[in-house]
Structure 1
């Protein structure tokens, strides 16, 4: 059923998909973070990133991002959605005891294909396109690409409990709820 929805959305809305392009990395990261800011307006706890934060984040992530494990959805050349994640570098960070110098950085980035776990950090779609199936189209590209890369396990970051559309899509695709985090407000005094 999901495959039909994905193909129908791609055909009906003429969605074009592409990965982040290393030659225009800064521009693509800026595009992604702009989508991130616009797509999460009105979401509980969300604070938009500033231009400075976007620039700093792009610089920090450049060596860690695997372009094949990212995706930008465009309609008529306009970016309307993106998915992005990172390989799970945590076991390697533990091995180098968090020390990047003098050789830790090389050990961290050596043989990225040896990392078998992936964390999908965000799938963001502009609000006016959120019910068009674009999120499913993005995930439909991401998951086969991750399998081809050699990923054996994926985590889908946090999905708000009241984000019924995303939760239902992930559950229909076979994702299992692993952790639930709760925040409570309690006035002291």
Structure 2
């Protein structure tokens, strides 16, 4: 039977688009079902402020009366305004939310996304982004043998071959690093931390959740400064910051998010999250009728195996200095201790980290972590 592609129109199609991820990943022991309410919220222009500066189209692939794949195509005006050497620029369109039953469905879906992008004047297709760099970027090309941590994707190994067969080449790799946090830091790192603790100019503190908005503003200011020149960086709008804050506040634990100050000025931060995938995996994507109560109960006194560090940054004026590494090691060590003592964690995951971010990669390797997953962003001229 021929594969046909149609655009998602209406609530029934949207439900089929979201639900297809369960069909596509059935039988994969390492896939973690997302919360369906979160996915629907991500795709809802009335809920997600990303749509204030972007537009997206969703497509389904069908064959013999059944769905055999899905894909999104999107154009983000903030990406179009980026410098070309940072992964954006005029003519750069994205695709994502990709699932396919076979190579034929994959080719048809990517072709539909490319046609939609061409119709909007795009000259380069890049993906996968689901929907942006801040959601689940990249296609998993290494690490299929274990489950992802919170806010990271998981994809069939065959997808790499199918995407590359459609003419895509790698644009950037994103690495995650894992380590056994029950092990003490290497002696050199311990000495660096001890020196920092004796420096009266340095203070590392927990965030104060009662001042959530003010603390978020400090961290986001540091994020924009530290990450502003990174490949793929798209600044969050005020509305997106508020949206993200509302979602993250219930999972913010003060001893897992730290700010480093130098002479009283915030100059570095580290955000760590308990791996919520451990709490939600058995919910099968459903919060109701009983999933919500289970999740709230688990968050009251969270005990997890893995902690994930999704964001970390040092003020740009300090980058490439010894102080930057010292602050990073201090943040990592203080959160490592809290992760073990309060939450019972034994494993940490850092990332993603860009393949050309040599400073962060060096820090990850110095604390004896190793790459456990690689996500690849692809590009193709249209």
TM-score above 0.5:
yes
Q: CA deviation at 1:10?
A: 4.2
Residue 254 of structure 2 aligns with which residue?
67
Superposed CA deviations along residues 115-169 of structure 1, whole A, max 9, x for unmatched, are: 2211111111111122212222211211111111211111112111221221112
**Counterparts of residues 56-135 of structure 1 (less than 5 Å):** 56-111=243-298, 112-130=301-319, 131=321, 132=323, 133-135=326-328
Does the CA contact (< 8 Å) of 1:39 and 1:124 recur in 2?
yes
In 2, Cα distance between equivalents of 1:13 and 1:125: 19
Does the CA contact (< 8 Å) of 1:15 and 1:75 recur in 2?
yes
In 1, Cα distance between equivalents of 2:373 and 2:222: 27
2:222 matches 1:28: no
Higher strand share: 2
Q: Secondary structure at the match of 1:47?
A: coil
Q: CA deviation at 1:91?
A: 3.1
Does the CA contact (< 8 Å) of 2:278 and 2:304 recur in 1?
no
In 2, Cα distance between equivalents of 1:84 and 1:126: 15
Greater than 4 Å deviation, 4+ residue runs: none
* Matching residue within 351, 354, 360 for 1:157: 351
Question: What CA RMSD, in Å, does the superposition of the two structures yield over aligned residues?
Answer: 1.8
Unaligned regions of 5+ residues in structure 2, if any? 1-187
* Matching residue within 234, 238, 248 for 1:47: 234
Q: CA deviation at 1:180?
A: 2.1
- Count of equivalent residues: 188
TM norm structure 2: 0.47
Higher helix share: 1
Residue 174 of structure 1 aligns with which residue?
368
Superposed CA deviations along residues 56-89 of structure 1, whole A, max 9, x for unmatched, are: 2111111112211111111222211110021111
Does the CA contact (< 8 Å) of 1:71 and 1:138 recur in 2?
yes
Evaluate the alpha carbon distance shift between residue 39 and residue 163 of structure 1 in structure 2; reply closer, same or farther with a 3 A threshold. Answer: same
**Counterparts of residues 129-144 of structure 1 (less than 5 Å):** 129-130=318-319, 131=321, 132=323, 133-144=326-337
In 2, Cα distance between equivalents of 1:106 and 1:52: 29
The structure with more radius of gyration: 2
**Counterparts of residues 9-24 of structure 1 (less than 5 Å):** 9-12=196-199, 14-24=201-211
